[in-house]
Amino acid sequence: MAIVRMEPVNVRVRADWFDGTPREITWGRVKLPVTRLTAVRREDSAYRVEVGPRTVFEVETPGARLALVFQHRSRRWTVDGVDDEVGLS
């Protein structure tokens, strides 16, 4: 299984108070609990200063595996990729 990149979609995320890991994703009217965190990648120096750093979380939810991105400067969460085997509608 591979995560397929897509146009970023804005989502709301409820994260852990202490370590910032995602616990629940709200995508439109659908709430997806995060069942497993599979990878974390910090991209601190990959972007210009005005864009700022970001952190990519690969998470599993019931029915889908997602690439969830937190953009630190804008404090925005987006879904940038979805598992190619399972999609969301």
Record the pTM: 0.83
Long-range Cβ contacts of 15-20 (<8 Å, 24+ apart): 20/70
Structure tokens at 23: 């616990």
List, for residues 11-24, the tens digit of each pLDDT value.
Answer: 999 999 998 899 99
- 47: Cβ contacts below 8 Å, ≥ 6 apart: 53, 54
DSSP state of 52: -
List, for residues 46-83, the tens digit of each pLDDT value.
Answer: 677 777 788 999 999 998 899 999 998 889 999 988 88
Q: How many CB atoms lie within 10 A of CB 48?
A: 6
